[in-house]
């Protein structure tokens, strides 16, 4: 069973521990432009949303990549990136509708989530469980259950 990085914006406190962990795991330093996960915060409303590549089944980035630098190994779910075959055309950054493939001028490469090889640092460091690495067919279970509990409450009250 494949795992997916599930985002729970309702739990996010906007602390950016995920971005820091991502930078550190990939580069051993804290460089804000090195992160593969981004947190957007709306300060007036006090709301934050982490964003990262969701490894689309039908991935636009892969489709437009002329060299196969973005590819998927047979039988896996991860969209992998090969720096060696990338020509830096940035087509993937245009094609991804979520903005989750980013060109980094410092390393001259595309930055996208690689799930840290199956043990994502962002998940480990999130203090609020706003990011979870879970089996994809139960990824929405907790959310569904929260909503289901509203039915429970409604019927109990009736």
Partner 1 sequence: MYGWSGTILRVNLTTGAVSRQATDPKVAALFLGARGLGDKLYTDEVDPKVDPLSPENNIVFAPGPFSGTFAPSGGRYHVVTKGPLTGAIAGSNAGGSFGPELHYAGYDALIIEGKASNPVYLWIKDDQVEIRDASHLWGKWVPDTTDLVRTETDAEAKVACIGPAGEKQVLFAAIMNDMHRAAGRGGVGAVMGSKNLKAIAVVGTKSIKVVDTKSFEGAVLKGRKLLKEHPVGGAGLKAYGTDVLINILNESGALPTRNFRESYFATADKIGGESLSANVLVRPKGCFSCVISCGRVTRVTNPKYAGEGEGPEYEASWAYGADCGIDNLDAVTKSNMLCNEMGMDPISLGATIACAMDLYEAGIVTLKDSGGLDLSFGNPDTIVDLTRKIGLREGIGDQLALGSYRFASSHGHPEYSMTVKKQEMPAYDPRGVQGIGLEYATCNRGGCHVKGYTIAVEVLGSPTKLDPRVTKDKPFYVKLFQDLTAAIDASGGCIFGTFGMSGDNYAEMLTALTGITYSTDDYLKAGERIWNLERLFNLKAGFTAKDDTLPERMLKEPIKSGPAKGEVSHVPEMLPEYYKLRGWDAKGVPTKERLQQLQLA
Tell me which residues touch partner 1 (CB under 8 A).
10, 13-17, 20-21, 24, 27-34, 43-48, 125, 127-128
DSSP line for 77-132? ---EE-TTT-----HHHHH-TT---EEETTTTEEE---GGGTS-HHHHH-TTS-EE
User: What does the alpha-carbon distance between residue 92 and residue 40 come to, in Å, rounded to a whole number?
Assistant: 21
Those residues with Cβ within 8 angstroms of residue 66's Cβ, 6 or more apart along the chain or in another chain: 87, 89, 91
- Residue 111 pairs with which residues in a beta bridge? 102
Closest CB to partner 1 among residues 48, 100:
48
**Nearest distance, CB of residue 45 and partner 1, angstroms:** 7
| Nearest of 18, 96, 116, 109 to residue 56 by alpha carbon | 96
**Nearest distance, CB of residue 59 and partner 1, angstroms:** 26
Closest CB to partner 1 among residues 77, 107:
107
**Nearest distance, CB of residue 20 and partner 1, angstroms:** 4
Q: Is 72 helix (H, G, I), strand (E, B) or coil?
A: coil
**Nearest distance, CB of residue 129 and partner 1, angstroms:** 12
Closest CB to partner 1 among residues 60, 142:
142
**Nearest distance, CB of residue 132 and partner 1, angstroms:** 17
Closest CB to partner 1 among residues 70, 120:
120
Closest CB to partner 1 among residues 46, 157:
46
């Amino acid at each position: 069973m494949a795992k997916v990085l599930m985002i729970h914006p309702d739990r996010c406190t906007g602390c950016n521990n995920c971005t820091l962990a991502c930078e550190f795991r990939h580069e051993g330093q804290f460089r804000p432009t090195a992160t593969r996960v981004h947190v957007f915060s709306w300060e007036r409303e006090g709301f934050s949303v982490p964003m990262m590549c969701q490894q689309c089944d039908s991935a636009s980035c892969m489709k437009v990549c002329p060299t196969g630098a973005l590819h998927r190994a047979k039988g896996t779910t991860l969209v992998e990136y090969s720096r060696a075959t990338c020509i830096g055309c940035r087509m993937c950054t245009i094609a991804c509708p979520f903005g989750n493939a980013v060109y980094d001028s410092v390393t001259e490469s595309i930055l996208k989530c690689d799930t840290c090889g199956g043990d994502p640092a962002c998940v480990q460091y999130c203090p609020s469980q706003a990011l979870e690495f879970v089996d994809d067919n139960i990824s929405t279970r907790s959310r569904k259950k929260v909503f289901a509990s509203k039915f429970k409450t409604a019927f109990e009250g009736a």
